[in-house]
Amino acid sequence: MKNSLEKVIITGGAGFIGSNLAEHLFQNGTKEILIIDDFSTGSMANIEHLKNINIINGRIEDIEDLETRLMGYNFCFHLAAGVGVKYIMDNVSKALNTNIEATHKIFSVCSKLNIPILITSTSEVYGVSEDEIWTEETKSLLGPPTKLRWSYATSKLIDEFMALAEFNDGNLNPIIVRLFNIIGPNQSSEFGMVVPKFVEAALENNEIIIHGTGEQTRSFTWVGDVVNYFRELALLEPYGEIFNIGQPEEISIKNLAELIITKTNSSSMVEFISHEQEYGKAFEDPMRRTPSIEKIVSLTGIKPSKQIDEMIEEIVNYKINLKK
């Protein structure tokens, strides 16, 4: 029997992807959503227009009656986490606690209540792997613990291990997704996310600051495609499986800045600063990050819908409308 998505839980639902997911689920028949969020990086503005949401405002780790509160829900999308390079580097311990302790708590409750769960992991788990294209089987190559940026990847890998261990023991029905640089409406520039930061700077004709040489490439994925995949996966029930969600098209950060300057008709100049200057010695950055998305495309039959040009245009329009 297919999962019902009539009543769902979204942890981190006031955040960027969570709020887009809530909207998408309501448009596709979901009747009620419980959002659990501590509003550390999320915002009420992202969800206040939505009807039929219940909100628990708090850290998952601190909610005492979580089991009672989750009773009667059909599916859990677990998105709450310490996210974003800047946020992680500023809050290493807090982010580690959330990503491990909160996730463990959600797993225990979902396992007791028999609620299937989708877990949002990250392309960071591949580290600096030198493989051309990263499939779900690619070996991780993480830096040492003295480089604190790897704490995020490590905590997400622990989440994946915990989920698969519980699945193997027959206790939990998890689906794991590894997300590659997601962009779109509701993404804040405050926590170091490159596209909203560059677009905001360009619209103000301010300097665009690139960390490193700008030769590093990334592949950006539209949030609308991501939430579509989430819903499809929840319905298809591939429990115990890991899926990359991304876009194989790569762009260097330097070219991204130039594209944004063109699309905004901006007079912004580009400045380069070293990673060390911005984040100190404990930082390392992979030069490229390109997903194989064969697995998810062949399961769902859905391909990413937008190229980078189109995504940037939509984000620029979104930011301009916000200012009106």
- Site residues (CB under 6 A) for ligand NAD? 11-12, 14-18, 36-42, 59-61, 79-83, 98, 102, 120, 122, 179, 181-182
d(CA 219, CA 304): 12
In order of 69, 172, 218, 258, 281, the CA distances from 253 in angstroms are 43, 39, 7, 9, 21
Whichever of 17 and 315 has its CB closer to ligand NAD, that residue is 17
Whichever of 100 and 235 has its CB closer to ligand NAD, that residue is 100
Q: Which two tokens stand for residue 210?
A: 């690139």
Whichever of 142 and 268 has its CB closer to ligand NAD, that residue is 142
| Minimum distance from residue 265 beta carbon to ligand NAD (Å) | 27
| Minimum distance from residue 182 beta carbon to ligand NAD (Å) | 4
Whichever of 30 and 122 has its CB closer to ligand NAD, that residue is 122
Cβ atoms 18, 42 nearer than 8 A = yes
| Minimum distance from residue 267 beta carbon to ligand NAD (Å) | 29
Strands (E), the chain: 7-11, 32-37, 53-57, 75-78, 117-122, 174-179, 182-183, 208-211, 217-218, 221-222, 241-245, 251-252, 270-273
| Minimum distance from residue 60 beta carbon to ligand NAD (Å) | 4
Whichever of 23 and 37 has its CB closer to ligand NAD, that residue is 37
In order of 13, 69, 160, the CA distances from 36 in angstroms are 6, 10, 21
Q: Which two tokens stand for residue 169?
A: 């023991």
| Minimum distance from residue 323 beta carbon to ligand NAD (Å) | 20
